[in-house]
Structure 1
Amino acid sequence: MQADNQQGEVRMEIDGHVCIITVDNVRKKNAYSPEMMEQLARHLTAFEENDDLWVGILCSAGEHTTAGLDMPKFFGPNATAKPRPEAWVDPFGLKRRCTKPLIAVVQGITYTVGIEIMLACDIVVAADTARFGQLEAKRGIAPLGGAHFRYLTRTGWGNAMYHLFLCEEFDAQRARELGFVQEVVPFGQHLDRAKNLAERICACAPLGLRATKQAAMQFIDAAEQAAVACIPDIRAKVFASDDFKEGIQSFVERRAAVFTGR
């Protein structure tokens, strides 16, 4: 059910050792508000800190994963975004990361932060309806949630730059070819498939799984931290530009942006 206030919500339910976190803002194609991002971080933290929960599934209600951020609420003059506590798990995996297995489930429109949150998970199951797009540069901004380095680690330089520069849609099969997605299944079967994978993972020793993931994270941590350290500089350069203002205004007015490079 959609939240009563029609502002969207993120729910968590527990099925044995599996935690299912569901994003629900169907009325706005599951666009994230700052409040929803806070709820997501809270639930991921609760999952991480509960030793009885071994595998997490992150999914979205309805036909679409997410259209991205509700941009005026994050960047406009009436923005409501605020910093989250450092002790919470970061949905983008830029600060505190979840050390347990996380399966992302995607379908339909999966744009911008939807891809970045997906890539902060470990395994991705996509419905055959999934459509991906890293669209920030079309909106006068730049990816700030990890796309600038996770595209590289998943796909290599050429493929990463191809999709980051073009800012065009690509489908589920292309995402699987790139390594973003591990399985593509018919729409309607995607969540059940993720649950099946979670149950099979739960047949393994949870401490062994966590140790495996932590060792892998240790391997890539130095490079990722260097990339994370670049984000404030990216933000400072892009958010001070005329193109940023034009990108936000064009989004609000639902028209194509006209950028000047200033």
Structure 2
Amino acid sequence: MSLGKVSREKIGHIMLIGLDRVPKRNAFDSHMISDLSHALTEYEDDPELRCAVIFAHGDHFTAGLDLVELQSKISEGIFNFDENQINPWGVGGRHRTKPLIVAVQGICYTAGVELMLNADVVIASDDTVFGQLEVQRGIMPFGGATVRFVQAAGWQKAMPYLLTGKTFNSTTANELNLISEIVEQGKQLERAIEIAKEICTSAPLAVQALLASATDAVTQGQTFAFEKMNSYLMPLFVSQDAQEGIRAMLEKRPPQFTGR
């Protein structure tokens, strides 16, 4: 059996993380789940990295979970990550604090949809076929779709797909607010890297604070987010990057942020 793993490549401040189980259409087995968690943790813990891109080798992003391999392991806690490890689906354990882009193509089912729903930017090839198929397998989504799919699309738009498991294309995914952009087939990774480079020109501490505040609003509500906003904002004002931002503006040049 082909065991799942993920590739790693660093381009400047960007980490490329590639799903690599091509013979199985990148279906997630326990090995690939573990390796993806470790790769995202490496990204989170490296102060030189400012943005990550998850993509897939081969023609398909992922066929979802390899239920044959995982069935006996789910009850053992295969999705219960150590407190020091990033949970790729963000439904528990340690949460990611730095930006993540996902580039999808071909088949993108179940855990793949939920993985991109936990990202900050999603670029989809125009040939992508999406599906939250769990109810057709006798189970329910447990990687975030019952919350994030509904938040993104709204109840009446989401439920026809969640309750039936029927598939849909990139145009529909865009209409449901599940993705950021649609690109020509084969261009999804290129576009994702382009956006990652743009993110990397921003001040890293400011980006992380912005993500934290936006996450507070989604998970804890507007009142909580407003009450906590100053705790993120005040440290930024005294950061070296804030001083650099002002200097760069006055000197009419691009800022050179260091994350300090």
TM-score, normalization: structure 1?
Answer: 0.80
Q: 2:163 aligns to what SS in structure 1?
A: helix
Q: CA RMSD in A?
A: 1.7
Partner Cα distance (1:193, 1:24) in 2: 20
Work out which of the residue numbers 52, 58, 68 in structure 2 matches 1:56: 52
Q: 1:137 aligns to what SS in structure 2?
A: helix
Letter in 2 for 1:7: L
Unaligned runs of 5+ in 1: 224-262
Partner Cα distance (1:78, 1:144) in 2: 11
Q: Counterparts in 2 of 1:14-33, with a 5 A limit?
A: 14-33=10-29
Which residue of structure 2 aligns with residue 222 of structure 1? Answer: 220
Superposed CA deviations along residues 9-28 of structure 1, whole A, max 9, x for unmatched, are 11111110001100011101
Aligned residues: 219
Partner Cα distance (2:103, 2:73) in 1: 33
Letter in 2 for 1:124: V
1:175 aligns with 2:173: yes
Q: Counterparts in 2 of 1:1-262, with a 5 A limit?
A: 6-76=2-72, 82=78, 83-95=80-92, 96-222=94-220
Which one has a bigger Cα radius of gyration?
2
Inter-CA distance 186–80: structure 2 relative to 1 (3 Å threshold):
farther
Inter-CA distance 156–78: structure 2 relative to 1 (3 Å threshold):
closer
Most deviating of 163-172 and 5-14: 5-14
Superposed CA deviations along residues 18-60 of structure 1, whole A, max 9, x for unmatched, are 0110001110100011111000000101101111100110111
Partner Cα distance (1:213, 1:81) in 2: 29
Instruction: Tell me: higher relative CO, structure 1 or 2? Use CA pairs within 8 A at least 6 residues apart.
Output: 1
Partner Cα distance (1:80, 1:190) in 2: 36
Which residue of structure 2 aligns with residue 247 of structure 1? Answer: none
Task: Compute the displacement of 1:182 (Å).
Answer: 0.8
Letter in 2 for 1:107: Q
Q: 1:166 aligns to what SS in structure 2?
A: coil
Unaligned runs of 5+ in 2: 222-260
TM-score, normalization: structure 2?
Answer: 0.81
Post-superposition, which runs of at least 4 consecutive aligned residues in structure 1 deviate over 6 A? Answer: 77-81
Letter in 2 for 1:89: I
Inter-CA distance 78–19: structure 2 relative to 1 (3 Å threshold):
closer
